[in-house]
Every structure is written in structure tokens, then in C-alpha cells.
């Protein structure tokens, strides 16, 4: 089938091909035994997703050799046309990098592991290195958001939260919706958020991709994979506070996060330190939690139905 490329022991669907390029052959390659019979060999290389264990993805490649230059060009053109038909793939991305998150490796991770893959897949990027808290959130209210197919955050859960708040807030602002009204129907975001894990905690990335690995996440972004997430809004006295996709912390957990923010220089170790310190302070917390059960719903945690509300 034209939609598959055959390698030594597997078929690769078009949806998992990253790029196709003409391969330059040097003199050493032309002198290798089995190619000596070819007067002028031509070749093209297919870069594709190779799936390893534990949800880990890697970029692999296979080179196809042709005696005829016209045949080689025909293959390249046909495969590139198939890739153009993959409409869910991004062509232009806005990238925010948190240089202070986790072990302060965000910029290095992006430049060494992610940027080369985006370039290989012909994805153009505008990169912003954040300089302070809420830099990305504030910037999202100013940029021409319509020119991008997605926003990528390089960092941890905090960086994702900041980009999410900026993107959702921008959508509501452009639509004239008041976020402070808890009954206001929010406009759904039509721009995706990609996460390159490089933080102290990468729970959102792990729960959506299945592994905290920058290369795997970059490849999911390249092929246009999408995982819908439900978002909750938190209000108090008709004032908007936060959006949440993972968890809401109250009491002890809130005190741990508040104390740990002052010790970001410690890296991930700050959570252990602040947790132990807060535990020894022996505070107690009071509160009332209420919920409203859903009506007329059928479903099970073990069924294969995804929540597509909205």
C-alpha cells in the first residue's frame, strides 16, 4: 500500500513517518561491496517513529537505494504528498522555555533533544525564554495567537499551568466572556498545548503520554497526537481564582507548596524539605467539602469511552 513504508521487519504507517529526505551519497558509500555494481546509486531516507518499551518513542531511519534518479525522486515526492495529507500535524509552534524549572535543564533539553526533531519535521518555531513568573501567561495575551498551530511549554507542571491559564484566559478575553462569572459558559480552546518535560514534577505529561521523556513528547507533538483534558475552574465570592486539570491543594499541601517556592534553588529536593518542615510545625486545618452527584449517567472507569464534554 502507498500509505506504508516497509522496513526490514515491520510496516510503518504514514501517520508515524516524521520526514523524508534525499540522501547525499559520498564516495565511501559508493565503494561499499554491494553498491559497486551500481554506476550512480541514488537514495532517500525515511525518518519514522520507533516505539520502545514503557511508552518510549525514538526517531529511527531507514535508507532506500535506487539505481534510477527519476525513480528516487518519484518516491520522495509521493511520500511527501502523503505527509502533507496529515492535517493534524503542526507547522508553526510557539515555544515557552522555563530556564529555572527542575534542575535548570529546560533550555539545554530543548536545544539538544527537541529543536533538531522539529527542524527535521519542517516545523517552524518562535521561542520565548521566560524571565519571571507569569511571563508566558502575560505574553499569551499579547501575541498573535492565530498564526500558531500550538503552544509548547518546556518545563514542569507549573509551566504547563501557566500556559494553560494564559491560553484559556486569552480565548475568553477575545470572546468577551467574564471569567469571574462562575456560570459563564467558557469558550473551548482550539489551540493545543504540547508539553516537553523538564521540571521538578511532570505529572500532566506522564498522565497524557505515559512517560516523562522529552524525545517521546516531541515526537507526539510532531505527528499531531491529541489527548483531551477536562478543566475545572475555581471561584470564590464570584471571583475567579484558578483553573485545574490535575489536583487542588488545601491546607497541608498548600503550605508545602508555599514554603517550597522560596527554595527553588534546591530543585526537586525542596518538596521533601518543605514537607518535613511543615509536618513538624503541626498545624491543623478545618474545612467543609461538598459535591453535587451527576444525574442520568452511565459509565465505568474500565470502559473505553473518553470524556469529550464540550
pLDDT tens across 266-283, in order? 777 887 888 888 888 877
Confidence of residue 105 (pLDDT cuts 50, 70, 90): very high
What digits encode the pLDDT tens for the residues 219-258?
Answer: 999 999 998 888 888 998 889 999 999 887 778 877 887 8
Report CA torsion sign: 196, 197, 203, 205. positive
- Residue 9: predicted pLDDT: 63
- pLDDT at res. 61: 94
The answer on pLDDT for 310 being more than 50 is no
230 annotated active-site: no
- Give the C-alpha separation, 59 to 152, whole Å: 19
Residue ranges covered by each domain of the chain: 14-25+39-85, 92-244, 252-281
Rounded to whole angstroms, the maximal C-alpha distance in the chain is: 83
In tens, the pLDDT along 116-126 reads 999 999 999 99
pLDDT top residue among 30 and 147:
147
The whole-number pLDDT of residue 27 equals: 46
Instruction: Please tell me the predicted confidence (pLDDT) of residue 306.
Output: 64
pTM over the 0.85 mark: no
Q: Could you give phi then psi for residue 188, rounded to 5 degrees?
A: -75, 140
CATH architecture group of domain 92-244: 3-Layer(aba) Sandwich (3.40)
> Between these two residues, 10 and 8, which has the higher pLDDT value?
10
- Band the pLDDT of 44: cuts 50, 70, 90: very high
Catalytic residue among 61, 138, 149, 157: 157
52-92: per-residue pLDDT in tens? Answer: 999 999 999 999 998 889 999 999 999 999 999 999 999 99
Q: What is the pLDDT of residue 239?
A: 93
Amino acid at each position: 500500500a502507498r500509505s506504508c513504508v516497509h522496513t526490514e521487519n515491520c510496516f510503518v504507517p504514514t501517520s508515524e513517518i516524521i520526514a523524508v529526505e534525499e540522501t547525499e551519497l559520498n564516495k565511501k558509500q559508493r565503494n561499499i561491496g554491494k553498491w559497486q555494481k551500481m554506476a550512480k546509486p541514488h537514495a532517500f531516507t525515511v525518518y519514522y517513529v520507533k516505539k520502545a518499551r514503557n511508552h518510549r518513542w525514538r526517531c529511527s531511519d531507514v535508507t532506500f537505494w535506487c539505481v534510477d534518479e527519476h525513480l528516487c525522486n518519484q518516491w520522495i515526492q509521493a511520500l511527501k504528498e502523503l505527509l502533507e495529507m496529515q492535517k493534524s500535524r503542526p507547522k508553526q509552534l510557539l515555544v515557552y522555555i522555563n530556564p529555572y524549572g527542575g534542575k535548570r535543564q529546560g533550555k539545554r533539553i530543548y536545544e539538544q533533544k527537541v529543536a533538531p526533531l522539529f527542524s527535521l519535521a519542517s516545523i517552524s518555531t518562535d521561542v520565548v525564554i521566560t524571565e519571571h513568573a507569569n511571563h508566558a501567561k502575560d505574553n499569551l495575551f499579547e501575541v498573535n495567537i492565530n498564526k500558531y498551530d500550538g503552544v509548547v511549554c518546556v518545563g514542569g507542571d507549573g509551566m504547563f499551568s501557566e500556559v494553560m491559564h494564559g491560553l484559556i484566559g486569552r480565548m475568553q478575553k477575545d470572546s468577551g466572556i467574564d471569567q469571574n462569572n462562575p456560570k459563564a459558559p467558557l469558550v473551548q480552546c482550539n489551540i493545543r498545548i504540547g508539553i516537553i518535560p523538564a521540571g521538578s514534577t511532570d505529572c500532566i505529561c506522564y498522565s497524557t503520554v505515559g512517560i516523562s521523556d522529552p524525545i517521546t513528547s516531541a515526537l507526539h507533538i510532531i505527528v499531531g497526537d491529541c489527548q483531551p483534558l477536562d478543566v475545572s475552574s475555581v471561584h470564590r465570592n464570584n471571583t475567579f481564582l484558578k483553573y485545574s486539570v490535575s489536583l487542588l491543594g488545601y491546607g497541608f499541601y498548600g503550605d508545602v507548596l508555599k514554603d517550597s517556592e522560596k527554595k527553588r534553588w534546591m530543585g526537586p529536593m525542596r518538596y521533601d524539605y518543605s514537607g518535613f518542615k511543615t509536618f513538624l510545625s503541626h498545624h491543623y486545618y478545618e474545612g467543609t467539602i461538598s459535591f453535587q452527584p451527576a444525574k442520568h449517567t452511565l459509565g465505568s472507569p474500565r470502559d473505553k469511552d473518553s470524556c469529550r464534554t464540550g
